[in-house]
Amino acid sequence: MNALIDELQWRGLVAHSTDLDALGAHLDAGPVSSYVGFDPTAPSIHMGNLVQLMVQRALQRAGHQPFLLVGGSTGLIGDPKQAGERVMNDEDTVRGWVERIRAQVGRLIDLDGDRGARLVNNLDWTRTISALELLRDVGKHFSVNRMLDREVVKSRLESGISYTEFSYVLLQSLDFRELYRSYGVTMQTGGSDQWGNITAGIDLIRRSEGARAHGVGTPLLTKADGTKFGKTESGTVWLDPEMTSPYAFHQYFLNAEDAMVVAYLKVFSERPREEIDDIARQSEEKPFLRIAQRALADDITDLVHGRTERESAEAAGAALFGRSELRDLDERTLAAVAKELGAATVHAGAGLPTVVDALAASGVVPSKSAARRAIEEGGAYVNNVKVSDPDAALTSEDLLQGRFVIVRRGKKTVGALAVAG
């Protein structure tokens, strides 16, 4: 078997594929040009998109050329989803998101050299196509029966699906054919939810060009309970640092479940098989050391945000629990920590609150009486300094970077205040 396919399978990145023997022979005869698409349905890509970039990075390391398509046109429509009709965003919004996503994906893959990734926008070729051309040159190759047989379409027939979303598959298939014609792209990768669109594009190339194309679909990453990976109680884990801070990003992976962490490490780390197998063995023997979680969090944060941001995130995590100085953290990192802790905002117009009020407002204790008990029992801290006076008030000296206070009850219950003028 082709070595790259073997690696992708070991990493758990192949849920669907066209004929693997044929694909392996095609890759062996390479180099192959492959593509993956990202529709701008938000200002940032997310963990599901990063899975696809990891596949393309693996292809690039093996000597193949990635094409990263940002859907300037398909993003105006939206792929059908199970829950119902998508809200269509206006052109200016989508155009802005296209540029942001182009910048994000461009930082996550090598753009230089003979096999440097190419960034393309499908609006470049769809904006000039007339309705007649789309129907004659693309639509004639599609069977309505097969389009109706797609799972997402069948699930929407009772509640209703617009012709706009129903015809999305034509546009994505057109993308594959256009990339085949213009750049010789013969392979598409995507999530398992895109498998119907991928095979439709392969079929269009076969019917209209008389050529063979290939595809790989990756599995949907889940938690141990089957819920979607990359979601938190507060929402999606984004790759844009303005939407999910590097600190929150690093913490998310540090908290990965023991049952799933090695599977995530195989997907999101580029460490060799032998090293990952060794980490898995160590983690099984000593799970309390959280070796796999630390490797995962460090590797993926280094990739997405860079080593400097990862080190700042680690420093913040250590400082929260007294293992380093909170005062050494910069304002941006402190703001990210405060946001992640759900910081309460207090106004200093009438003076700074008492420590009791600060503990209660932050949520680390349920009431002011509980705050007093925590202080009297020696379990209350302001910026990692134990508080012994239940009548003490915060002072300007307690404000980190002039506006943040970190409070703690016991060893592990941490909260924050953001002080407004």
- Name the packing angle between helices 307-320 and 331-340 (round to 10°): 60
End-to-end CA distance of the chain: 65
141 conformational bin, left if phi > 0, alpha if psi -120 to 50, beta if neither = alpha
- Report, as an integer, the average pLDDT of 102-124: 90
Is the CATH number 3.40.50.2000 carried by domain 221-324?
no
pLDDT of residue 233: 64
Query: Using one digit for the tens of pLDDT, what is the confidence trace for 273-293?
Result: 999 999 999 999 999 999 999
- Report, as an integer, the average pLDDT of 137-147: 85
pLDDT of residue 186: 97
**CB atoms < 10 A from the CB of 271, how many?**
15
- Report, as an integer, the average pLDDT of 20-33: 94
How far is Cα 238 from Cα 241, in angstroms, rounded to an integer? 8
- Cβ proximity of 382 and 388 under 8 Å: no
DSSP state of 324: S
Phi, psi of 345 (to 5 degrees): -95, 130
pLDDT over threshold 90, residue 261: yes
pLDDT of residue 157: 74
Give the chain's mean pLDDT.
90
Phi, psi of 415 (to 5 degrees): -140, 180
pLDDT of residue 152: 75
CATH topology of domain 341-421: 3.10.290
- Cβ proximity of 338 and 269 under 8 Å: no
Query: Using one digit for the tens of pLDDT, what is the confidence trace for 292-318?
Result: 999 999 999 999 999 999 999 999 988
pLDDT of residue 90: 84
How far is Cα 280 from Cα 289, in angstroms, rounded to an integer? 12
DSSP string, 21-58: HHHHHHHHH---EEEEEE--SSSS-BHHHHHHHHHHHH
Domain locations along the chain:
3-218, 221-324, 341-421
**Paired tokens of 225:** 């309970």
pLDDT of residue 114: 83
Burial per residue of 319-349, b for 16 or more beta-carbon CB atoms within 10 angstroms, e otherwise: bbeeebebeebeeebbbbbbebbebbebeee
Give the helix/strand (H/E) hosting 89.
Answer: none
Local structure of 174: helix, strand or coil: helix
Is the CATH number 3.90.226.10 carried by domain 3-218?
no
261 conformational bin, left if phi > 0, alpha if psi -120 to 50, beta if neither = alpha
pLDDT over threshold 80, residue 386: yes
Confidence grade of residue 184 (pLDDT, cut at 50, 70, 90): very high
Cα 349 to Cα 328, 346, 411, 419: the distances in Å are: 27, 9, 32, 10
Rg (CA), the chain: 26
How far is Cα 201 from Cα 211, in angstroms, rounded to an integer? 12
How far is Cα 317 from Cα 248, in angstroms, rounded to an integer? 10
pLDDT over threshold 90, residue 223: no
pLDDT of residue 84: 65
Confidence grade of residue 27 (pLDDT, cut at 50, 70, 90): very high
Q: Which ranges constitute the DSSP H helices of 255-306?
A: 261-268, 273-285, 291-305
pLDDT over threshold 90, residue 146: no
pLDDT of residue 82: 66
Listed residue (420, 413, 379, 375) closest to 399, CA to CA: 420
Q: CB neighbours of 301 closer than 8 A, spacing ≥ 6?
A: 246, 249, 250, 253, 309, 310, 313
pLDDT over threshold 80, residue 258: yes
Q: For the chain, give the percent of residues with pLDDT over 70.
A: 98
pLDDT of residue 234: 66
Confidence grade of residue 232 (pLDDT, cut at 50, 70, 90): low
How far is Cα 133 from Cα 140, in angstroms, rounded to an integer? 10
Please state which of the ranges 144-153, 259-268, 367-376, 385-394 shows the lowest mean pLDDT. Answer: 144-153
- Report, as an integer, the average pLDDT of 213-233: 86
Same fold yes or no, 3-218 and 221-324: no
How far is Cα 96 from Cα 68, in angstroms, rounded to an integer? 17
Q: For the chain, give the percent of residues with pLDDT over 90.
A: 68
